[in-house]
Amino acid sequence: MSKIIVFGSRKGGVGKSTVSVLAANALSQEPFNQKVTVIDTDQQKSISKLRLMDAEDFDEVLPYEVLNYNVPTFEKNIKDLDSRNDIILVDVAGKLDTSLPVEQQEISRVINYVDFLFIPFVSGNFGLESTLDYLKFVLQFQAKRKAEGRPFQI
């Protein structure tokens, strides 16, 4: 069974995708040598696009797999991926739809499987406010998961 990790934030440009790739690079190689898969569910698909460029320029086997999934495909395949990986990093969009309940949010469909959620942020009033909004959202979801006996760490 793998550890499923998300670097999540409501704010764009805080480094979610960058930190996911850096973590995948580090954890898939010496001294860790973990079997790592990155799942790109973000609509921008920046990790998937960069991996295509890597594949063109790199002659050896790449150190970790990158999968270009939408959220329903993620949900369909996560059990199989969970059984054959040590670590799964999921790149998610930060969009919150405050008109929907927590459990109906698209981001909730991914966080439902997460073991660890890290929240990167940048300084400034807008960055702080959107980080706090995101934290309030994930705390609600964390309480729901804890009540179900499936807690995750923030």
Task: Read off the amino acid at residue 45.
Answer: K
How confident is residue 61, by pLDDT bands cut at 50, 70 and 90? confident
| Of 126 and 111, more confident | 111
- Alpha helices, DSSP H only, in 64-124? 71-84, 106-111
**Percentage of the chain lying above the pLDDT 70 cut:** 96
- What pLDDT does residue 123 have? 79
Cα–Cα distance for residue pair 21/146, rounded to 1 Å: 29
- What pLDDT does residue 56 have? 80
Instruction: Give me the chain's average pLDDT, please.
Output: 89
